[in-house]
């Protein structure tokens, strides 16, 4: 009888564990098994964490006080070639979800298909661009067909893990911040229908956007959530949503804990107390949230994306100034947030797991090398220049070679339309110039005469496809043509150098070789014990690193990132091999491993200052297109011009503000004659009266970067008037200007009185 009773209890326990759960949308609250439930989600990205460390990071989030994991699914990480799917190893997203379930964590899945995330092309596969007329994130039949195929395949992995089926997935997102891209409810509906067809039918579907854009594509049968960052006025963000849906559960689906870093810009940080205060305010109001990022990790390999406008590629580190740092260690933010969340759970939080061991690696030499030009694959021929995608290449470097059909004179212009993203131009092996898309450098003036027949080599590195806005149609290499004095050059040889080519080239590296310029460098180091470390790249120029065949990421001497995270799980006792592709050449071919990263060392003048020393703006002879006072209170403000204006050069002069201290603008838009916003992809800053050196990247180009949470802010010591001058790239006709002050509580630095000038000719500087 006792044995029978024991077996009966065991059977009952199994039945209880197997009992399906429910997650539903109730009146004013989410309902877990019928009871109100506040989601405290930690955003993690499984490709940015080595698979052996997944469980550690999940446990860190559990110990922080989170009850769910929120994750993007990166389409291009799983389907690198059309129809070839990979859900193994670091791409095994189902295993990641099951590990979260093992530790009692629910999962929110965000499968896009577009995800942004500072990830290559926002998660969309590069091979979509092989179709010349493809229209991404639209109802283009080709695009929707490929989306449907991917989501159907993803459904095989994740649909069985929905909560009512015994899994732990409680919500699934439809697209991502689509209101910041377009207004097309039918497209959002098509993505919704594709997700349902893929099997995501048992949990709520939701769409996220900003407070200013959520109405543009809101569908009645989806949950609506908002994204915003630290310091935001919580009640203000949700005011319009509460009015539109008084009974809906409220959720901040991305509460930005920090920000991401760009090459050539200062390291980004956000205040810990401000972050914690915002989460406290949401919890006090019963508002669910997902902390983006709780742990950012690393954008390994070639997966880093870019912003445009202005073009700016992302660093390999995705530390994000998050509570859990790049290597999985708790930060002061972690401690402060854990103390808050402990007050909102009934039981003591588990202790955080010990971090993986950290080691240093003594200096070692990469003693074998080979010039990139001596390690080329077989060429392809092409009468005309074409982008990288046309040659079946997704990432890496591409070399275009031709011979000049005529003699070229010193002073002639060699134009590359356009360089995507960083090019070196050689004439018979001699470096003529380096061209940087960030600086809009698409041409060079020949420094010397070149005879007919001169070999012209153009080596182009793809730095990351744009992951936000209309510029996601971002083809790489040279996208249109190369002209000499206006004449188009033809008859090209093309050499494809994808990242995998480095592993082949390394086999041909020679001991003792010291090539100049672009080259592959190979070396080894020995370990008695393995552990995490950070490779010091400060003696190197620009390129990528592989260790034991795994691509760690990009490096660039300009910073701010100067080290690459090398996880100990990818190292082995004994010999470890390192390959470095340096497109410029090292100062010394040596490396070492530190026990901490260097993420904040900028070694080049910041391009974003936008003002040469002593340069001033003279508006004394200019006639304003508009003079106006802005009302207080924040939010987008639209100022109609007295009559339509035409011009290429725009100046906004701020003569006073609503508060003392620095002045700030988050976004500027011009409206065309029909009242719709004009494209901003070609805008550039020609002058800014000042920038605030104490705020990372509070630079003038933030006013057209399409990100409402970033802003231009003047120096606290600068006196009015303040001014910004923009080159719009071409003459436009405008009927109005729209301005957005900072979106934080109180709209700090909000302009009050201003003048606007729009004219064909440049302003006097």
**Where are the chain's structural domains?**
21-342, 361-370+500-604, 384-490, 608-759
**Cα separation, 45 vs 53, whole angstroms:** 12
What is the number of H-type helices and E-type strands within the chain? Answer: 10, 41
- Whether residue 659 has pLDDT greater than 80: yes
CA 430 to chain centre: 35
Question: In 688-712, which positions are buried (b, 16+ CB within 10 angstroms) versus exposed (e)?
Answer: bbbbbeebbbbbbbbbbbbbbbbbb
Confidence of residue 12 (pLDDT cuts 50, 70, 90): very low
List the one residue out of 664, 742, 677 whose CA is nearest residue 707: 742
Q: Report the interhelical angle of 272-284 vs 332-342 (nearest 10°).
A: 20
Pairwise CA distance, residues 136 & 181, whole Å: 11
Instruction: Give the pTM.
Output: 0.94
- What is the spatial distance between Cα 207 and Cα 195, in angstroms, rounded to a whole number? 12
**What is the per-residue pLDDT for 19?**
72
615-646, pLDDT tens digit by residue? 789 999 999 999 999 999 889 999 999 999 99
Q: Give yes or no for a cis peptide into 758 (omega within 30° of 0).
A: no
Query: What are the backbone dihedrals phi and psi of residue 300, each rounded to the nearest 5 degrees, phi first?
Result: -65, 160
Tokens of 188: 């959002």
In this prediction, residue 6 carries a pLDDT of 36
Distance, CA of 417 to CA of 404 (rounded, Å): 17
pLDDT per residue as tens digits for the range 307-324: 999 899 999 999 999 999
CATH number for the segment(s) 361-370+500-604: 2.60.120.260
The string of DSSP letters for 526-560 reads: EESS--BEEEE-TT--EEEEEETTEEEEEEETT-S
3-state class of 310 per DSSP? Answer: coil
Rounded to an integer, the average pLDDT of 358-379 is 98
Nearest to 481 by CA among 387, 381, 395, 398: 387
In tens, the pLDDT along 200-245 reads 999 999 999 999 999 999 999 999 999 999 999 999 999 999 999 9
pLDDT of residue 8: 36
- CATH homologous superfamily for the domain 21-342: Glycosidases (3.20.20.80)
CATH code 1.50.10 for 608-759? no
Are 467 and 119 a contacting pair, CB within 8 Å? yes
Q: What is the pLDDT of residue 634?
A: 85
User: Per the omega criterion (within 30 degrees of 0), is the bond before 217 cis?
Assistant: no
Cα of 637 vs its chain's centroid, Å: 28
Enumerate the H helices of 299-370 as residue ranges.
332-342
Q: Could you read off the pLDDT of 99-132 as tens digits, one per residue?
A: 999 999 999 999 999 999 999 999 999 999 999 9
732 or 608: which leads in pLDDT: 732
Q: Select from 325, 288, 353, 297 the least CA-distant residue to 103.
A: 353
Mean pLDDT of 37-65: 98
Active site residues: 177, 254
Judged against a pLDDT cut of 60, whether residue 199 lies above it is answered with: yes
**Nearest residue to 520 (alpha-carbon basis) of 700, 371, 344, 327:** 371
Instruction: Give 3's contacts (C-beta < 8 A, 6+ positions apart).
Output: none
Eight-class DSSP state of 46: G
CATH of domain 384-490: 2.60.120.260
Which of 552, 518, 516 lies closest to 534 in space, CA to CA?
552
Instruction: Encode pLDDT of 236-277 as tens digits.
Output: 999 999 999 999 999 999 999 999 999 999 999 999 999 999
Question: Would you say the CATH fold of 384-490 matches that of 361-370+500-604?
Answer: yes
| Burial (0-12, 13-18, 19+ Cβ within 10 Å), 764 | exposed
Query: Is the pLDDT at 725 greater than 50, yes or no?
Result: yes
């Amino acid at each position: 009888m006792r044995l029978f009773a024991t077996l009966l209890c065991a059977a009952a326990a199994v039945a209880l564990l197997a009992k399906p759960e429910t997650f539903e949308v109730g009146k004013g609250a989410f309902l877990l098994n019928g009871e109100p439930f506040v989601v405290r989600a930690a955003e993690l990205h499984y490709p940015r964490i080595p698979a052996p460390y997944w469980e550690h990071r999940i446990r860190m989030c559990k110990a922080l006080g989170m009850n769910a994991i929120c994750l993007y699914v990166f389409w291009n990480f799983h389907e690198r070639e059309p129809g070839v799917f990979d859900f193994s190893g670091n791409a095994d997203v189902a295993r990641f979800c099951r590990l979260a379930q093992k530790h009692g964590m629910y999962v929110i899945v965000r499968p896009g298909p577009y995800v942004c995330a500072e990830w290559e092309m926002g998660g969309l596969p590069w091979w979509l661009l092989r179709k010349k007329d493809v229209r991404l994130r639209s109802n283009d039949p080709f695009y929707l067909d490929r989306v449907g195929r991917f989501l159907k395949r993803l459904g095989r992995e994740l649909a069985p893990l929905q909560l009512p089926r015994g899994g732990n997935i409680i919500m699934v997102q439809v697209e991502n911040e689509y209101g910041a891209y377009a207004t097309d409810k039918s497209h959002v509906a098509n993505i919704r229908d594709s997700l349902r067809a893929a099997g995501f039918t048992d949990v709520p579907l939701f769409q996220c956007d900003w407070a200013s854009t959520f109405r543009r594509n809101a569908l009645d049968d989806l949950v609506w959530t908002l994204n915003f960052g630290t310091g935001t006025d919580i009640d203000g963000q949700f005011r319009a949503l509460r009015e539109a849906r008084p009974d809906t559960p409220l959720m901040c689906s991305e509460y930005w804990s920090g920000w991401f870093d760009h090459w050539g810009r200062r390291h980004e940080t956000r205040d810990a107390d401000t972050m914690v205060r915002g989460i406290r305010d949401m919890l006090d109001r019963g508002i669910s949230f997902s902390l983006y990022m709780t742990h950012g990790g690393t954008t390994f390999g070639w997966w880093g994306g870019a912003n445009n406008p202005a073009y700016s590629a992302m660093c390999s580190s995705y530390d994000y100034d998050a509570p859990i740092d790049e290597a999985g260690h708790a930060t002061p933010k972690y401690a402060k947030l854990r103390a808050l969340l402990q007050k909102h759970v009934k039981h003591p939080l588990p202790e955080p797991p010990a971090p993986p061991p950290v080691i240093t690696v003594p200096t070692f030499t990469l003693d074998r090398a080979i010039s990139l030009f001596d390690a080329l694959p077989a060429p392809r021929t092409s009468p005309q220049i074409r982008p990288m995608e046309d040659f079946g290449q997704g990432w890496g470097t591409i070399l275009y070679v031709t011979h000049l059909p005529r003699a070229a004179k010193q002073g002639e212009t060699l134009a590359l339309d356009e360089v995507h993203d960083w090019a070196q131009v050689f004439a018979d092996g001699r470096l003529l110039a380096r061209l940087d898309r960030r600086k809009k450098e698409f041409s060079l003036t020949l420094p010397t005469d070149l005879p007919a027949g001169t070999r012209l080599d153009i080596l182009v590195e793809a730095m990351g496809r744009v992951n936000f806005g209309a510029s996601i149609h971002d083809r790489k290499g040279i996208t249109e043509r190369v002209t000499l004095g206006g004449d188009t050059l033809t008859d090209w040889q093309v050499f494809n150098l994808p990242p995998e080519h480095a592993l082949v080239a390394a086999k041909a590296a020679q001991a003792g070789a010291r090539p100049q310029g672009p080259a592959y460098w190979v070396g080894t180091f020995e370990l008695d014990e393995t552990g995490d470390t950070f490779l010091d790249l400060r003696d190197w120029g620009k390129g990528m690193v592989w260790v034991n065949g795994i691509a760690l990421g990009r490096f660039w001497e300009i910073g701010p990132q100067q080290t690459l995270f090398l996880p100990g799980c990818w190292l082995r006792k004994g010999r470890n091999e390192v390959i470095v592709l340096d497109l410029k050449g090292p100062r010394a071919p040596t490396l070492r491993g530190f026990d901490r990263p260097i993420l904040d060392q900028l070694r080049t003048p910041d391009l974003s200052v936008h003002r040469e020393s002593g340069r001033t703006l003279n508006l004394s002879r200019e006639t304003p297109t508009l003079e106006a006072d802005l009302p207080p209170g924040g939010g987008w403000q639209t100022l109609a011009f007295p009559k339509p204006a035409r011009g290429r050069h725009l100046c906004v002069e701020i003569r006073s503000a609503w508060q003392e201290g620095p002045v700030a603008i988050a976004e500027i838009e011009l409206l065309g004659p029909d009242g719709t916003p004009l494209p901003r992809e070609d805008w550039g800053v020609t002058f800014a009266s000042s920038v605030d050196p104490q705020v990372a990247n509070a630079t003038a180009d933030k006013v057209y970067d399409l990100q409402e949470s970033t802003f231009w802010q003047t120096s606290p010591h600068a006196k009015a008037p303040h001014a910004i001058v923009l080159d719009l790239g071409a003459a436009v006709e405008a009927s109005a200007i729209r301005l957005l002050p900072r979106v934080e509580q109180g709209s700090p630095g909000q302009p009050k009185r201003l003048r606007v000038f729009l004219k064909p000719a440049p302003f006097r500087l």
